[in-house]
Amino acid sequence: MSISRGELKGQILRVLQKDGGYQGFYTDEKLNDAIQDCMDYIAVEMFLAGEGWLRKIITLDSQSGFPTVDLPAHVAMIDEVRYLVGNRYIPLVYDDATLAAQFQPAAGVTQFPSRYRIVDQKIYFNPAPGQGGADYVQVEYATYPPILVADGQLLNTEFDRAMVHFIKWRASSLLASSVGKYQKEWGDHEAEWKERMVMIVNKRTKSPIFFREFSGS
């Protein structure tokens, strides 16, 4: 669903029984903050559900004999880290290395890593890989949608209609609560759309189920 931040602000103001020219307590800044809060709230639901929401794949460079690879700041949740072996990226196992012996950098290397952990915003291998180079590390991850900076900017296309409805009702509640209105007449609508939004997020891919033909006994 393609909807701009400005259009969504108009919907929220109508819920709050204000017209588009309203310049009172619900300022543009407060509306923008409420919308971004709701988008990030839904994004976290997407991260936890998986189902391919807000997913990206990047490749990173590694260096032979060096144990770390910098992880970009926008990586919010890692699904899988893979290492290039021949012409294939092989999945690595996450291991926090609790109580495991650690190799010094000069103590030797392994040809290809099989495990990794995250330390100081870096992918850490121990022992260090013996082979490395450009695009040797592949990371599949989830990331927050871009922050909206203009009213003409469209919401991320992965935010479908159910999510947009939930943003409208939840943002309205955030703004109303900020002026001491805790009993909202649209509370049931917000709860209903939250339920539907979560259902969509948790079931993006509906896999078919196949039944074998019954042949009798």
Do 177 and 127 share a structural domain? no
Query: Is residue 68 a part of any domain in this protein?
Result: yes
Residue 127 shares a structural domain with residue 77: yes
The tokens describing 83, both together, are 């290492």
pLDDT digits (tens, 9 = 90+) for 42-65: 999 999 998 899 999 999 999 998
Same domain, 119 and 80: yes
Is 213 inside any structural domain?
Answer: no
Total domains, the chain = 2
Looking at every residue in the chain, the average pLDDT score rounds to 89
Instruction: Give residue 208's pLDDT.
Output: 58
* Per-residue pLDDT at 217 exceeds 60: no
Same structural domain for residues 73 and 33?
no
Within 8 A by CB and 6+ apart from 195, the residues are none
pLDDT above 90 for 2: no
Read off the pTM: 0.83
Q: How confident is the model at residue 213 (pLDDT cuts 50, 70, 90)?
A: low
What is the mean pLDDT of the segment spanning 20-26?
A: 76
Give Rg (Cα) of the chain. 24
For residues 71 and 126, state if they share a domain. Answer: yes
Task: Please list, in sequence order, all residues whose beta carbon lies within 8 angstroms of the beta carbon of residue 96, skipping any fewer than 6 positions away.
Answer: 117
Structure-block tokens of residue 154: 């469209």
Q: Tell me, yes or no, whether 185 and 169 share the same domain.
A: yes
Indicate whether 24 and 80 sit together in one domain.
no
Within a domain: residue 214? Answer: no
Domain, as residue range, for 62: 55-142
Do both 154 and 192 map to the same domain?
Answer: yes
String of b and e for 122-142 (b: at least 16 CB within 10 Å)?
ebbbbbbbebbeeebbbbebb
Map 100-121 to HEC letters: CCCCCHHHCEECCCCEEEEECC
Q: How far apart are CA 165 and CA 193, in angstroms?
A: 7
The percentage of residues in the chain with a pLDDT greater than 90, rounded to a whole number, is 72
Decide which of 207 and 119 is more confident.
119
Residue-wise pLDDT tens digits, 119-128: 999 999 988 9
Tell whether 209 is covered by a domain.
no
pLDDT higher at 149 or 210: 149
Looking at the domain assignment, is residue 14 inside a domain?
yes
Q: Which pLDDT score is estimated for 105?
A: 66
In a domain, residue 172? The reply is yes
Q: Are residues 129 and 158 in the same domain?
A: no
Residue 123 located in a structural domain: yes
The first and second tokens of residue 137, run together, are: 């590390």
Whether residues 136 and 98 fall in one domain: yes
| Residue % of the chain over a pLDDT of 70 | 89
The reply to whether 132 and 189 lie within a common domain is no
Same domain, 108 and 96: yes
Instruction: Say what the pLDDT of residue 71 is.
Output: 96
Q: What is the pLDDT of residues 158-191, one digit of tens each?
A: 999 999 999 999 999 999 998 777 678 898 999 9
In the predicted model, is pLDDT for residue 18 greater than 60?
yes
Looking at per-residue pLDDT, the higher value among 155 and 207 belongs to 155
- On the question of pLDDT at 86 being above 60, the answer is yes
